[in-house]
């Protein structure tokens, strides 16, 4: 095959109990560097343009919690997890309609884009039925007889297998249908047992699995060491005119005039959008939503802000905090400040304590002082994981 693979379904296995980690809930719902482990795992796959959809295999008792954790992620479906890993994959395969399928453990929250590139490239060559990330074994290996040390084992030909793994969907379905052995620990061995050749591509330490107490702390430290903070600034202004509705901070504000613009002219959301885009070096709102394009006429500006949030996720980033200042003589912003914070938090899916909304006047000076328009400026802080 010479063209890139256009359609892949990703299966994320999240039905386990995580008993070895300890705690009173499954490990996929534990917080990791600001968001749940499951959100990390699914989000990175869902924002990749080569992946058509993500299917999450989940314990039915945890589905509502999983849906809340993954709220806002597009092209997402759920299936009931089985009693074993193999059964969970089989359940999800029933919903796969694409030619290729990727299987990933939710307990591996960080998926480097470079690993996805290597997996897809290996399958794209057409000579194999699947591909898996693998890492060499660095430690000395030895057999153990109870508490006594036995002979060493040659580690040269050994590798550590990781996920995600990618397969031709037909090959994986066939391997599951034909499997008669003991419960497998991964799908690559199933396809291999069915006669399919599996490519081993370079894995990554970021794909470490969260299994035991202490793994979350180690992963948090690993993320911190590969995370940089970026800051963006946004500024916007629109004219106040008669006959228009006034939208500010995602709210309809009663006023005798409204803001004039190609969209709903929500100057506050526009400033926030530009600040977020600036933090990830993605230009400004006009580049993504040109005023000359009639499809954006009158559209709600929350679509612009949601688009910026999606671009942050695609860049491996997380919005840490936003600071918005609205500059006008009227209307008074104070009565609407808390509702604006709530609405912006909903659009961004951020805790409201990460969103600041302030207002000021210019003491009668300038166009805002004369009541001719409203201005807004914003700062966005974004942490970007470079993995």
pLDDT over 60 (residue 280): yes
56 three-class SS: strand
The number of domains in the chain is 2
Give the pLDDT score at 20.
Answer: 53
Q: Please tell me the predicted confidence (pLDDT) of residue 298.
A: 87
pLDDT digit string, tens, across residues 79-109: 999 999 999 999 999 999 999 999 999 999 9
DSSP SS3 for 314: helix
Helix and strand numbers (H, E) in the chain are 12, 19
Q: Say whether both 231 and 375 belong to one domain.
A: yes
Q: Are residues 250 and 363 in the same domain?
A: yes
* Cα–Cα distance list, 300 to 97, 173, 204, 353 (Å): 34, 44, 41, 24
In a domain, 362, yes or no: yes
Same domain, 358 and 232: yes
- Confidence band (pLDDT; 50, 70, 90) for 291? confident
Least confident of 112-126, 250-264, 355-369: 112-126
Last residue of a domain, one of 210, 225, 240: 225
Please check whether residues 84 and 163 belong to one and the same domain: yes
| Cα→Cα distances 240→272, 330, 373, Å | 20, 10, 5
Decide: 229 and 214 in contact? Cβ < 8 Å.
Answer: no
Model pLDDT, residue 1: 38
> Where a domain ends, among 225, 252, 273?
225
211 and 283 in a common domain: no
pLDDT band at 349 (very low <50, low <70, confident <90, very high): confident
Domain for residue 119, yes or no?
A: yes
Within 13 Å, how many C-alpha atoms sit on residue 56's CB side? Answer: 32
Range of the domain at 105: 8-225
> For residue range 155-196, what is the model confidence (pLDDT) as tens digits?
999 999 999 999 999 999 999 999 998 999 999 999 999 999
Residue 162 contacts by C-beta under 8 Å, 6 or more apart in sequence?
A: 108, 132, 133, 134, 135, 203, 204, 207, 209
Task: With respect to residue 1, please indicate whether it lies within any of the assigned structural domains.
Answer: no
- The answer as to whether 344 is a domain residue is yes
Q: What would the pLDDT profile of 22-46 be if each residue is shown by its tens digit? A: 566 788 999 998 889 999 999 999 9
Instruction: Label each residue of 259-284 as H, E or C.
Output: EECCCCCCHHHHHHHHHHHHHCCCCC
- Which residues, listed in sequence order, are joined to residue 78 by a DSSP beta bridge? 56
Q: Are residues 326 and 221 in the same domain?
A: no
Does residue 239 lie within any of the structural domains? yes
Q: What is the CATH number for 381?
A: 3.30.1330.50
Q: Does residue 158 form part of some domain?
A: yes
Q: State the residue for tokens 């992620």.
A: 73
In a shared domain, residues 113 and 41: yes
Stretch 297-312: mean pLDDT? 92
Residue of higher predicted confidence among 386 and 83: 83
Residue 204 above 60 pLDDT? yes
One domain for residues 96 and 231: no
Given 179, 203, 225, which residue is the final one in a domain? Answer: 225
Task: Tell whether 149 and 275 lie within a shared domain.
Answer: no
Which pLDDT score is estimated for 2? 42
pLDDT band at 6 (very low <50, low <70, confident <90, very high): low
3 in any annotated domain = no
Q: Measured on CA atoms in the order 128, 130, 131, 136, is the torsion positive or negative?
A: negative
User: Do 253 and 207 reside in the same domain of the chain?
Assistant: no
Q: pTM for the full model?
A: 0.81
Looking up residue 100, the CATH number of its domain turns out to be 3.90.550.10
Q: Kindly state whether residues 157 and 185 are assigned to the same domain.
A: yes
Q: Taking the C-alpha atoms of 37, 74, 188 and 202 in order, what is their torsion angle to the nearest 10 degrees?
A: -70
Q: Is residue 86 in some structural domain?
A: yes
Does 19 have pLDDT greater than 90?
no
Looking at the structure, tell me whether residues 126 and 174 fall in a common domain: yes
């Amino acid at each position: 095959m010479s063209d890139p693979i256009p359609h892949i379904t990703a299966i994320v296995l999240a039905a386990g109990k995580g008993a070895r980690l300890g705690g009173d809930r499954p490990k996929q719902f534990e917080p990791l560097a600001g968001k749940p482990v499951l959100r990390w795992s699914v989000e990175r796959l869902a924002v990749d343009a080569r992946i058509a959809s993500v299917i999450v295999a989940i314990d039915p008792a945890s589905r509502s919690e999983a849906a809340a954790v993954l709220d806002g992620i597009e092209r997402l479906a759920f299936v009931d997890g089985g009693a074993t890993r193999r059964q969970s994959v089989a359940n999800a395969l029933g919903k796969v309609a694409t030619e290729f399928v990727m299987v990933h453990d939710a307990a591996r929250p960080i998926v480097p884009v470079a690993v996805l590139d290597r997996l897809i490239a290996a399958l794209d060559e057409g000579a194999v039925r699947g591909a898996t990330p693998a890492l060499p074994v660095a430690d000395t290996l030895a057999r153990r007889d109870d508490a006594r040390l036995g002979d060493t084992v040659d580690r040269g030909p050994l590798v550590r297998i990781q996920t995600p793994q990618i397969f031709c969907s037909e090959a994986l379905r066939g391997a599951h249908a034909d499997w008669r052995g003991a419960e497998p620990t991964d799908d690559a061995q199933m396809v291999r047992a069915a006669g399919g050749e599996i490519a081993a591509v370079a894995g990554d330490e970021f794909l470490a699995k969260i299994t035991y107490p202490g793994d979350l702390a180690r992963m948090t430290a690993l993320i911190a060491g590969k995370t940089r903070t970026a800051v963006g600034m946004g500024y916007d202004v629109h004219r106040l005119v008669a006959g228009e509705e006034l939208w500010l901070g995602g709210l309809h504000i009663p006023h005798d005039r409204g803001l004039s613009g190609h969209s709903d002219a929500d100057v506050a959301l526009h400033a926030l959008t530009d600040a977020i885009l600036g933090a990830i070096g993605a230009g400004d709102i006009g580049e993504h939503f040109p005023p000359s394009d009639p499809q954006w006429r009158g559209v709600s500006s929350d679509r612009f802000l949601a688009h910026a949030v999606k671009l942050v996720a695609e860049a491996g980033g997380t919005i840490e905090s936003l600071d918005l200042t609205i500059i006008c003589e009227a209307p008074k912003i104070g009565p609407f400040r808390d509702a604006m914070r709530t609405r912006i938090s909903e659009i961004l899916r951020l805790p409201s304590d990460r969103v600041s909304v302030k207002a000021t006047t210019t003491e009668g000076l300038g166009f805002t002082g004369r009541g001719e328009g409203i201005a807004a400026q914003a700062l966005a802080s974004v942490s970007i994981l470079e993995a």
